[in-house]
Amino acid sequence: MPVMTASSPRTDLQPGDRAPDFTLSASGGRTVSSAELKGKPYLLYFYPKADTPGCTTQACGLQDVLPKFEVAGLTIIGVSPDPVAKIEKFATKYGLQFPLASDEDHAVAEAYGTWVEKSMYGRTYMGMERSSFLVDGQGIIRNVWRKVKSATHAALVAEAFRDLSSGA
């Protein structure tokens, strides 16, 4: 069951802000939490729905660069509103080795400002905005990407993490 320890929903997180705390159930029988990541940089990326074309492109792009990130010490965590069983199936189907976390009650997404009003075919609904947050080892957000393009996401993260790692 997700546990949200952030105080109130945020929609305005910017580089330099403290990242909201989280604890979520994830693929591979894992639990991911900001507390366990203390002292380590991580990428928290939010995606709308497992096993859809855009989300698959995004996840597989990150999986392709995962070895370089792991060597450099970056942890990648994907977050969606899907239940654990669905994200587990998605992770297995595509061989995704990084944790995919379930935020069914969207508490973490609300804390990060990624649970937003969307519209499609004239219908308005609440859903996950494809967004990412690069967080340093002190829990400070260093980069924010809103409305990320699936195909270019991994390259943007790689460049930003390279800059963060080199102290730029």
d(CA 70, CA 67): 5
pLDDT digit string, tens, across residues 55-80 = 899 899 999 888 888 878 899 999 99
Element containing residue 35 per DSSP (H, E) = none
**For residue 10, pLDDT beyond 60:** no
Mean pLDDT of 140-153: 87
Considering the entire predicted model, what is its pTM?
0.86
Active site residues: 55
The pLDDT of residue 9 = 47
**For residue 53, pLDDT beyond 60:** yes
**For residue 11, pLDDT beyond 70:** no
Long-range contacts of 29-38 (CB under 8 A, 24+ apart): 30/99, 32/77, 32/99, 32/101, 34/139, 37/75, 37/135, 38/137, 38/139
Confidence of residue 131 (pLDDT cuts 50, 70, 90): very high
The pLDDT of residue 166 = 63
The pLDDT of residue 105 = 95
C-alpha separations of 28 from 87, 90, 109 in Å: 10, 11, 21
- Show me where the domains of the chain are located: 17-163
pLDDT digit string, tens, across residues 78-97 = 999 999 999 999 999 999 99
d(CA 99, CA 107): 18
CATH topology assigned to domain 17-163: Glutaredoxin (3.40.30)
Three-class secondary structure assignment of 99-156 = CEEECCCCHHHHHHCCEEEEEECCEEEEEECCEEEEECCCCEEEEEECCCCCCCHHHH
